[in-house]
Amino acid sequence: MAVERNSVVVEEYLQVIYALTGSEGPVKAIQLATRLASSPSTVHATLSRMQRDGLVEVGPKKEVLLTSKGQTKAESLVYRHQLVESFLCDRLGIPWHEVHHHAHILEHGLTPLVVERLAEFLGFPGFCPHGTPMPGSGTNLPASTLALSALEEGRDFQVVVIREVLEDQQELMEFLERHHLQPGERLKFLEKIKATDSMLLEYQGTSFSLPLGVADKIGILPLA
Ligand SMILES: [Zn+2]
Ligand SMILES: [Zn+2]
């Protein structure tokens, strides 16, 4: 079923472009190749097809932009993905760190009716289990959300969101879960360790270090 396989690929591209644009700004084809573990020529061919179908356009700096049609489609895919994540995490008890992976496989087979009933069944959640607001649900991150890497030493903080771009790294997600770096949890930033580009954090008396590159992608609220 070549046609179906193609539509799954396009759905994955739309979601990745949407997530990268939201967290890192304009997206280049090379970032897509890295993120999707594909060759530049495959990415190029897929993007051309998506351009032809009116889902993306290429800007003056060769950045890949979603058209309004692409944006609408991406939002509904992301919504579906996050809804499935919530279902797996909250109702089926699948571990927080791996629901993203399962949702990616399941999400492509849901009909609009199933999506509608699933949303109703879950009570219309506003955020995925990792804290990302669900498109169209009217929710937003608190305006004062900061990157964890931007926090001052010695401060306590509450985790708000683990950015979608980290969700593919299952081992890392498992590490975050083990150390309670999850939405709603409270931790302390002890000190920055310059030599290893990391920060020393503490959760209820246990300390651990986290690379700054990861801390960049975790949104938090400083606590008084
Ligand atoms: Zn996800
Ligand atoms: Zn998520």
* 116-159: pLDDT as tens digits: 999 999 999 999 999 999 998 899 999 999 999 999 999 999 99
Residues flanking ion ligand 2, Cβ below 5 Å: 85, 128, 130
CA of 116 to the centre of ligand 2 (A): 19
CA of 180 to the centre of ligand 2 (A): 16
Residue written as token pair 């279902």: 87
Evaluate if pTM is beyond 0.75. Answer: yes
Domains of the chain, each with CATH number or no CATH:
2-66 (1.10.10.10), 146-223 (2.30.30.90)
CA of 128 to the centre of ligand 2 (A): 5
CA of 26 to the centre of ligand 1 (A): 20
The ligand with the least distance to the CA atom of 103 is 1
* 67-113: pLDDT as tens digits: 999 999 999 999 999 999 999 999 999 999 999 999 999 998 899 99
SS3 31: helix
The ligand with the least distance to the CA atom of 78 is 1
Give dist(CA 190, CA 173) in Å, integer: 21
Region 34-62: what's the mean pLDDT?
A: 93
